[in-house]
Amino acid sequence: MGFLDWLSNGPDKSIDIAENARLRAEAENAYFRLEESAEYIGELERMYAEDKGWTAISYQQQELFSSAGRRKIAELCRAMQIVNPLIKRGLAIRAAYVWGQGVGISARGEKVNEVVQAFLDDPGNRKAFTGAQAHVTLENQLGTDGNVFLSAFANPQTGFVQVRSIDPLEITDQITNPEDKEEVWFYRRDYNERTIEGNYVEKSKWYPALGYTPTQKPAMLQGVAIDWKAVVYHAKANPVGLWGVPDALAAIPFARSYKEFLEDWATLMKALSRIAWRMSGKRRAGQQAREAFRNLDQAGQTFAGDPNTTLEAVPKTGATIDAESGRPLATMVAGALGLPVTTLLADPGQTGARAVAETLDQPTRLEFQGRQEVWTEAKRAIIGYAIDQAVLAPSGPLSGRVVRDSFTQREEVVLENENDRTLIFNWPDLEQEPMESLVTAITQADSTQKMPPLETMRLLLRALKVRDVDEIVDAWTDEDGNFINPDVTAGDAAVRAYEQGLNVSSALRRNRGDHE
């Protein structure tokens, strides 16, 4: 008998019905509040447990971005890129989408563009920063390390800038503006330098961040020398605070699970393949038949048994042999790497189609375009530094002056003679239109006579996938930056030079030389 039943039918018969109802209502109300309290206490306990979990996660995050934590993560991701097919293919596809078609870079100003092209074509810079192999290497570094550190140093006489990459594991600390954590002043590098004899010497240095130009430049910081001859640019993937997080980190647990699933599936297939036939019969006859059947070791042989022996294939009913059931694990890997699962697995699946496997949806395109913008900012900053050094060096090819902002104390190099230092980045579309459609659109736009001839030439050359577009455009540009029409005759060139007040003989020689 429960408490409420006892209260309703208890031994005290003197309690009238009204009082009994009142007491019953109070008891039910108290019981309801007790249940509410229990639920509330349970909720508090659950929240407390979750708070403890979040506290642990917060502590783990602090460890994650420590020097030792970042090293462990980078070493793990680097190893997984080598041994795990999904991680390897995922990072390779990301690099292919970002850099597979290259990028065109030029400056509007003619003299500035000469400096830019010399910087881009330098063999050392191509090996470390501007070449195709360097592009893939640095993109994969964002995938396994989450951070890329590029050191730029200039020739003190000519101002020519060279770029080299620094192993992210060697960058151990950063110092920021005390009033602005987003503004990094110095990067610390701890590394082992190998001597000619093969020995290793431990060294430490501080490098100023690119763009940090203080009026006073101390020689030491925290007892470690500062190398003012080089500046460092930091590119980050999935940034959290001052550090980046590798693209592959979130994919590794599911890549491991998918690998283990396929191993278990292969083990199951191997086990099923070893049990192909089932034989039944009377004991003596069955034993003899089994001995005879066991001696068959080649395909296509014949077995003859007595009428009491039955031979049948082992049924596969109930056996799980579908490898597609592990596809959700691969989907999680694809999601972590920002790729369609059809592209990651190179297979549209049972219900997919070839067109599905070869098409990028808009979110995926935007993610890769976002990564391209990260590299655009990196190249813009470092090429801008190269232009500045071409002005500041005593024998630099450009002229200008330095302007310091009185509020931010930042230096800005202003070019003289109105040279335009605007940089133009031309990334090909991730999913290009057919060449015929592009050429038709450019031709129709040019027919409106609103398009500058040089711009029309650039667009046509890029649509036709011609390399060294800038060199071809320069060949059809005169000393004043005007387009040289290949259809213009010598008489037209002389008339145009006369109307513009130019030297007619020089114009005729230039026109004759271009056509020769």
Output the CA torsion sign for 116, 120, 123, 124. positive
More confident of the two residues 167 and 284: 167
Task: Quote the tokens at residue 143.
Answer: 């995938």
> Identity (one letter) of the amino acid at 1?
M
What does the DSSP assignment read for 408-462? T--EEEEESTT----EEEEPPPSSPPPHHHHHHHHHHHHHTT-S-HHHHHHHHHH
The reported pLDDT for the residue numbered 198 is 84
What are the tens digits of pLDDT across the range 55-83? Answer: 454 545 555 668 888 899 999 999 999 99
Taking a C-beta distance cutoff of 8 angstroms, is the pair 382, 152 a contact?
yes
Higher pLDDT among residues 322 and 371, named by residue? 371
Q: What is the DSSP letter of 317?
A: T
- 50 or 191: whose pLDDT is higher? 191
Chain centre distance of CA 244: 11
Picking from 95, 100, 176, 179, the residue whose alpha carbon sits closest to that of residue 140 is 95
Contact status, residue 473 vs residue 486, Cβ threshold 8 Å: no
Q: Which two tokens mark 166?
A: 């620094």
What is d(CA 159, CA 332) in angstroms, rounded to the nearest whole number?
48
Q: In this predicted structure, what is the pLDDT of residue 512? A: 45
Cα 496 to Cα 516: distance, rounded to the nearest angstrom: 20
Confidence band for 245, pLDDT divided at 50, 70 and 90: very high
Look-up of token digits 């490898």: 323
The ranges assigned to domains in the chain are 3-64, 67-247
Tokens 């390897």 belong to 88
How big is the chain, counted in residues? 516
pLDDT, tens digit, 9 for 90 and up, residues 154-200: 999 999 999 999 999 999 999 999 988 889 999 999 999 988 888 88
Per-residue confidence (pLDDT) for residue 389, from 0 to 100: 94
Query: Is 376's pLDDT higher than 80?
Result: yes
Asked if the model's pLDDT at residue 459 lies above 50, the reply is: yes
Q: How confident is the model at residue 105 (pLDDT cuts 50, 70, 90)?
A: very high
Amino acid at 262: L
Burial class (CB in 10 A: 0-12, 13-18, 19+), 361: exposed
pLDDT tens sequence across 128-156: 999 999 999 999 999 999 999 999 999 99
Low-confidence winner among 35-44, 120-129, 331-340 (lowest mean pLDDT): 35-44
Round to whole Å and give the CA distance between 321 and 330. Answer: 17
Residue tagged 């910087």 (tokens): 119
Q: Are 149 and 385 in contact (CB under 8 A)?
A: no
pTM above 0.75, yes or no: no
Tell which residue, 309, 310, 317, has the closest CA to residue 272: 317
What letters, b where the CB count within 10 A reaches 16 and e where it falls short, cover 28-38?
eeeeeeeeeee
